[in-house]
């Protein structure tokens, strides 16, 4: 259909001409894209390598096993399942593997940086399980002592860490010890920080966590999909059964092939350099906002939060819409103790994984922050802001050049 291909070209133009600052997005390599769009999509392969419910899976088995082996090598873990279709389905499968309906989960709320599948009232996680929340200190970091007190009080079956809008290093060792103390499973959703962990910019959860889930398309720079990892043979057996036939049918082998390629790329020395640059760019942008007088969180990862309500007198929703007029893509995001609704918010979340893939430097991160600040402060109009964005984009690589 001609219209569809025309729309793809328009989307390609949008991605090339703008600055992608959504922390959950990235740009894949040409090889990842080729595998995701390959003839592997034609093959039905219910089951696992060597144990399929369909014939003709000899090569498919090799591809999926390669993905599993590369993933285990990347994170130094004993077992992995690469079939989940998304991070949300990975979490659903993980919960069901170790919990019964109605069991207690202790996690961080969506409002303070958690994720929809970590117990949001509108999500399956709060409907299937009894969810409690731990909180943050005034400086925006996890209150580990209060977490321990809450865990001792409610005795959860599972404690969850790993978040979608938390800009600081997570102390997996401390949370793991609390989980052991109260007899809970310790689960980590490393969707946002998987690439940082693989690149050595964030501590690994695997010495402490019982089960770890992730997406593959954020800082890991792969196709859109999910994964589940563990060092427990007992848990992986439950995970495999709960994934298929429990919750999914045929796996997306084209996406699994693309996942394998992204795991291979993350094992290369260049990936560590990339991740180090992501962290430097993010920290630089955050510090620039603070120096300019805006209220922004500090950061130790690939993202930070900008309070647009206090800084510029506008909601996160309005800031997102305004920035899109100058080809800067962000997303509105709840802030800790936010008094706005989730569909309005008091701020935006900014991430630098995608623009760093395109080659953004520290200087580019500074200019990005200055453009946003000057525009939202009304120091410059949209015409001037667009010129500055165009100048900055001209220093970056095209999205299909890697």
Q: What is the pLDDT of residues 165-217, one digit of tens each?
A: 999 999 999 999 999 999 999 999 999 999 999 999 999 999 999 999 999 99
pLDDT tens readout for residues 272-283: 999 999 999 999
| CATH class for the domain made up of 273-393 | alpha beta
From 14, 34, 44, 362, active-site residue: 44
Portion of the chain with pLDDT greater than 70, in percent: 100
Q: Assign 126 a pLDDT band (cuts: 50, 70, 90).
A: confident
Q: Assign 121 a pLDDT band (cuts: 50, 70, 90).
A: confident
pLDDT tens readout for residues 174-185: 999 999 999 999
Q: Annotated catalytic, 230?
A: no
pLDDT at 299 over 90: yes
Question: Average pLDDT in the 141-154 region?
Answer: 97
User: CA distances (Å), 298 to each of 140, 169, 278, 288, 301, in order?
Assistant: 9, 11, 15, 10, 9
pLDDT of residue 64: 98
pLDDT at 218 over 90: yes
CB of 202 closer than 8 Å to CB of 209? no
Domains 30-266 and 273-393 share a fold: no
pLDDT of residue 300: 98
From 189, 253, 265, 338, active-site residue: 189
Q: Annotated catalytic, 362?
A: no
CB of 326 closer than 8 Å to CB of 371? yes
Q: Annotated catalytic, 104?
A: no
Q: Annotated catalytic, 17?
A: no
pLDDT of residue 116: 85
> What does the DSSP assignment read for 277-326?
HHHHHHHHHHHHHHHTT-EE---SSSEEEEEHHHHHS--HHHHHHHHHTT
pLDDT of residue 311: 98
pLDDT at 401 over 90: no
Q: Annotated catalytic, 224?
A: yes
Average pLDDT, the chain: 97
All structural domains of the chain with their residue ranges: 30-266, 273-393
Q: Name 264's Cβ contacts closer than 8 Å, sequence gap at least 6.
A: 70
How is domain 30-266 classified at the CATH fold level?
3.40.640
Q: How far apart are CA 350 and CA 312, in angstroms?
A: 16
Cβ count within 10 A of residue 15: 17
Beta strands in 36-150 (DSSP E): 47-48, 51-52, 79-81, 104-108, 130-134
From 107, 213, 215, 230, active-site residue: 215
Q: Which residues of 370-396 are buried (b: 16+ CB within 10 A; e: fewer)?
A: bbbbbbbeeebeeeebbebbeebbeeb
From 14, 31, 34, 46, active-site residue: 46
pLDDT at 114 over 90: no
Name the packing angle between helices 382-393 and 362-376 (round to 10°): 170
pLDDT of residue 110: 79
pLDDT of residue 115: 87
Q: Annotated catalytic, 345?
A: no
pLDDT at 267 over 90: yes
pLDDT of residue 373: 98
């Amino acid at each position: 259909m001609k219209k569809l291909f025309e729309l793809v070209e328009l989307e390609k133009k949008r991605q090339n001409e703008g600055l992608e600052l959504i922390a959950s997005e990235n740009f894949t390599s040409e090889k990842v894209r080729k595998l995701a769009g390959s003839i592997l999509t034609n093959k039905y392969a219910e089951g696992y390598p060597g144990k399929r419910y369909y014939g003709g899976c000899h090569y498919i088995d090799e591809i999926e096993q390669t993905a599993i082996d590369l993933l285990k090598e990347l994170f130094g873990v004993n077992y992995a399942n690469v079939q989940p279709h998304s991070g949300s389905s990975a979490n659903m499968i993980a919960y069901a593997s170790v919990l019964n309906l109605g069991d207690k989960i202790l996690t961080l709320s969506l409002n303070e940086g958690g994720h929809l599948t970590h117990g949001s009232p509108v999500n399956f996680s709060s409907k299937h399980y009894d969810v409690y929340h731990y909180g943050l200190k005034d400086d925006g970091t996890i209150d580990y002592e209060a977490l321990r007190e809450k865990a001792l009080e409610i005795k959860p079956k599972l404690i969850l860490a790993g978040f979608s809008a938390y800009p600081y290093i997570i102390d997996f060792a401390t949370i793991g010890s609390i989980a052991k103390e109260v007899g809970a499973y310790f689960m980590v959703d490393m969707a946002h920080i998987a690439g940082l962990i693989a690149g050595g910019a964030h501590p690994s959860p695997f010495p402490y966590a019982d089960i770890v889930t992730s997406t593959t398309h954020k800082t890991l720079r792969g196709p859109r999909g999910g994964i589940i990892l563990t060092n427990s043979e007992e848990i992986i057996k439950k995970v495999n059964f709960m994934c298929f036939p429990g919750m999914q049918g045929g796996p997306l082998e084209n996406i699994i092939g693309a996942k394998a390629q992204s795991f291979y790329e993350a094992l290369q020395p260049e990936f560590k350099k990339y991740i180090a640059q992501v962290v430097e760019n993010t920290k630089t942008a955050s510090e620039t906002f603070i120096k300019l007088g805006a209220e922004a969180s500090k950061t130790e990862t690939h993202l930070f939060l900008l309070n647009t309500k206090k800084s510029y007198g506008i909601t996160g929703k309005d800031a997102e819409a305004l920035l899109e007029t100058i080809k800067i893509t962000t997303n509105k995001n709840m802030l800790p103790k936010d008094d706005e609704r989730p569909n309005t918010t008091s701020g935006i979340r900014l991430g630098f994984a995608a623009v760093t893939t395109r080659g953004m430097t520290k200087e580019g991160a500074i200019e990005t922050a200055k453009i946003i600040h000057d525009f939202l402060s009304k120091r410059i109009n949209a015409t001037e802001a667009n010129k500055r964005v165009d100048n900055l984009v001209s220093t970056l690589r095209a999205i299909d050049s890697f």
